[in-house]
Structure 1
């Protein structure tokens, strides 16, 4: 099966568990990115906190970069799990 195929995540209980764990991580990163940008935006209103605001924007950007990285890692792991299932079935034949 190709990457990003819905069937990969619904194959069995293990793939559903992996998918759920990655979704939780993705949601947590979403919140961290949003909070970083929100706090950074508010801190830019106060000149004394501009440096901290800049760092919060950088951290928010890193979190946004993590989102597609998590998705790709999840899909590769699910794809590999399917390949292992295929190899196990072949070994049983």
Structure 2
């Protein structure tokens, strides 16, 4: 089976569980990053809170980077659950 195949998350109960955990983590990170960006934006309205706003943007950016990491982690997890020969066939 190919990597990044959207049908892979239903292959087995272990696949479903891994997908669910990663989706929860992805959603928490996505929400947190968005919240930090909104709060950081509000902090830019006053000059004395600009420094804190900048740090919230930096942390939010790191969280957005973690989103891709979660997807890669999920795909590696699928590979561990599958037969590695499936990757070369796909």
Q: Normalising to structure 1: TM-score of the pair?
A: 0.85
- 8 Å contact 1:22–1:71 — kept in the other structure? yes
Task: Mark the runs of 5 or more structure 2 residues left unpaired by the alignment.
Answer: none
* TM-align CA RMSD: 1.4
- 8 Å contact 1:30–1:64 — kept in the other structure? yes
**Tell me, what secondary structure is at the counterpart of 1:83?**
coil
Write the distance in 2 (CA, Å) between the matches of 1:43 and 1:7.
42
| CA apart distance, 1:18 | 0.6
Task: Mark the runs of 5 or more structure 1 residues left unpaired by the alignment.
Answer: 87-93
Q: Which residue of 2 aligns with 1:24?
A: 24
Write the distance in 2 (CA, Å) between the matches of 1:80 and 1:14.
11
Aligned ranges 1:6-85 → 2 under 5 Å: 6-83=6-83
Map Cα deviations across residues 10-39 of structure 1 (whole Å, 9 max, x no partner). 111111011000000000010011001000
| CA apart distance, 1:8 | 2.3
Write the distance in 2 (CA, Å) between the matches of 1:9 and 1:80.
13
**Tell me, what secondary structure is at the counterpart of 2:82?**
helix
Q: How many residues align?
A: 85
- 8 Å contact 1:8–1:79 — kept in the other structure? no
Q: Which runs of 4+ in 1 moved over 3 A?
A: none
Q: Which residue of 2 aligns with 1:90?
A: none
Write the distance in 1 (CA, Å) between the matches of 2:41 and 2:5.
38
